[in-house]
Amino acid sequence: MTDETLLETRGLTKEFKGFVAVDNVDLRVKRGTIHALIGPNGAGKTTVFNLLTKFLPPTRGTIHYKGSDITRDNPADVARRGVIRSFQISAVFPNLSVLENVRVALQRKSTGSQFAFWKSDKTLDKLNDAALAILDRVGLKDFAQVHAGALAYGRKRTLEIATTLAMDPEMMLLDEPTAGMGHEDVDRVRDLIKEVAKGRTVLMVEHNMSVVSGICDIITVLQRGAILAEGPYAEVARNPQVIEAYMGTTHA
């Protein structure tokens, strides 16, 4: 971990017809950290992600990446800068094999290679080798030839991480990577995130507190669109305002 701020928002605000979903958020994500964004349902976490990846324009405020103002970037610009968001399951191509899904992501990364059928067998072999190496890393090598649509839920989410990894992001945005998983899958994905975070920066929305406490360096708590608390887990978890915000929710 360094002290360098990789991603920063200043006064980030998003209003939907007068309703303030994200309220004056100053977020700082330091290089090399795993940073969690938590908060009760409706706190604005997904909207923050949509603002950071430019799926939504902010009403006010700015976003900076490595010191550059990226507020006016489009989603492709942000991805080109190395900020990649994990895709939701719907973006995993169910009729392609697990290997092919990763290969598509690898091809998307290397510009111009959409025309893979023009490439030599040697180049395609290289892509296959790279895809297999990624599958090995995430524990899906044995499923390389399986149709992605036939994977169990936890493995589909793992494939999502694999395709994100294939883009070789400098910063990974993970949207509830363990949502809906059983204990075993949660533990596996938690370990996997810690592994793939090496040499990268991760910002993740996560409801599972065992994941957050286990691997996250810094936690930002959102409530009604605004930052309620921020710090290491042990500090945030004993903050009376945070405890109150979570009381009565199923995610505490």
The binding site for ligand ATP (CB under 6 A) comprises 16, 19, 21, 39, 41-47
Query: At closest approach, how far in Å is the CB of 105 from ligand ATP?
Result: 25
Measured from the CB atom, is 39 or 61 closer to ligand ATP? 39
Query: At closest approach, how far in Å is the CB of 156 from ligand ATP?
Result: 19
Measured from the CB atom, is 19 or 115 closer to ligand ATP? 19
Please write down the HEC assignment for all residues of 109-143: HCCCCCCHHHCCHHHHHHHHHHHHHHHHHHCCHHH
Query: At closest approach, how far in Å is the CB of 125 from ligand ATP?
Result: 42
Residue 55 Cα distances to 3, 23, 85, 147, angstroms: 28, 17, 11, 29
Residue 81 Cα distances to 40, 69, 70, 78, angstroms: 31, 12, 10, 5
Query: At closest approach, how far in Å is the CB of 214 from ligand ATP?
Result: 20
Measured from the CB atom, is 39 or 58 closer to ligand ATP? 39
State the Rg of the chain over Cα: 19
| 3-state DSSP helix/strand/coil % of the chain, to nearest 5 | 40, 25, 35
Measured from the CB atom, is 107 or 208 closer to ligand ATP? 208
Measured from the CB atom, is 44 or 169 closer to ligand ATP? 44
Measured from the CB atom, is 45 or 103 closer to ligand ATP? 45
| Alpha carbons 114 and 75: distance in angstroms, whole number | 19
Query: At closest approach, how far in Å is the CB of 55 from ligand ATP?
Result: 10
3-class DSSP state of 159: helix
Q: 140 and 171 in contact (C-beta within 8 Å)?
A: no
Query: At closest approach, how far in Å is the CB of 245 from ligand ATP?
Result: 12
